[in-house]
Amino acid sequence: MRHNLFVVIWAFLTIFGCKPSNKAQTGQITQGISGFITELKGNQMPMKGAPENKPRPVSVTLLVYEPTDLSQVQRVETSAIYTSINTRKVASVLSDSTGAFSIALPPGTYSLFVQQGKFFFANSFDSRNNIQLVTVEANKVTPFNITINSGATY
């Protein structure tokens, strides 16, 4: 009876304990930001019979800046692409091949940008035109996902 119970427990742990997680690995950080970076390209208009175009994970550099608003950047027309950021860079991290990243940061509010060659990408704003803000609280890892959609059409 004990042997059968052991086999059942072992099988359960093998099947469910090795299941890959969809959550970003925090890399043992206890405070900062963790998430995934994906990219969406091409025509996003729904078409009958066409498969859904899904974001794919990308390995890119994520740049963490002091809180930045639209008056502190040089923007390419009205796009989510920037040529310069005129606030202090705090940190940077490279996402892995699954798009996962984690970065330890002190408590505070930050603007996040993705490096794209000589350009920067960020596509969210608050009501005061602050760009892609995220807040880190003491002893917490803040989840934050980014989808680069500069190559997508809608």
Q: What is the pLDDT of residues 78-88, one digit of tens each?
A: 999 999 999 99
80, 71 Cβ separation under 8 angstroms:
no
Output the CA torsion sign for 101, 106, 111, 114.
Answer: negative
pTM: 0.78
What average pLDDT does this structure show over 30-51?
Answer: 86
What is the tens place of the pLDDT at every residue in 94-136? 999 999 999 999 999 999 999 999 999 999 999 999 999 999 9
Q: Is 4 left (phi over 0), alpha (psi -120 to 50) or beta?
A: alpha
Percent of the chain with pLDDT over 70: 80
pLDDT reported for residue 154: 67
Chain centroid, CA 90 distance in Å:
17
Alpha-carbon distance of 62 to 87, in angstroms, equals: 15
For residue 92, what pLDDT is reported? Answer: 98
Distance CA 73, CA 71 (A): 6
